[in-house]
Amino acid sequence: MGEEKKEQSDLKQLSQEEVEKHTTGTSSWLVIHDKVYDVTKFLEEHPGGEEVLLEQAGKDGTESFEDVGHSEDARELMENYLIGELRDEDKASNKYPEKRDMWKSSGNGSTCSLS
């Protein structure tokens, strides 16, 4: 991969409103665990088909992502598309504290952090 993982403090802070502007095949962003990913270049490569990603574009796709049970390889691949994180006031962990524990364990043995 060549690039080092982006440090949490280096991530650009984005609003949910900004994410919601990117819902097309030419600009497709989605949120997973409060992190924002630009998946535009990955649409054609996604094993589940581009329509799956486009359905989640501009939204928080955490629940859908976890329901599928993505592999550790898929989770590592996501880092290539990471462009920022939601501002604190837009984070799902703040809006839906009852789901915080559910999302910590993805059910496939890996642990996901909401911070």
77 versus 3: the higher-pLDDT residue is 77
- What is the average pLDDT across 75-84? 96
Residues with Cβ < 8 Å from 28, sequence gap 6 or more?
22, 38, 39, 40, 43, 53, 54, 57
Return the closest-CA partner of residue 103 out of 93, 95, 89, 88.
93
Please say if the pLDDT value at position 62 is more than 90.
yes
User: What is the predicted pLDDT for the residue at 8?
Assistant: 57
User: What is the predicted pLDDT for the residue at 108?
Assistant: 45
User: What is the predicted pLDDT for the residue at 6?
Assistant: 52
User: What is the predicted pLDDT for the residue at 106?
Assistant: 47
Please say if the pLDDT value at position 115 is more than 90.
no
> pTM here?
0.76
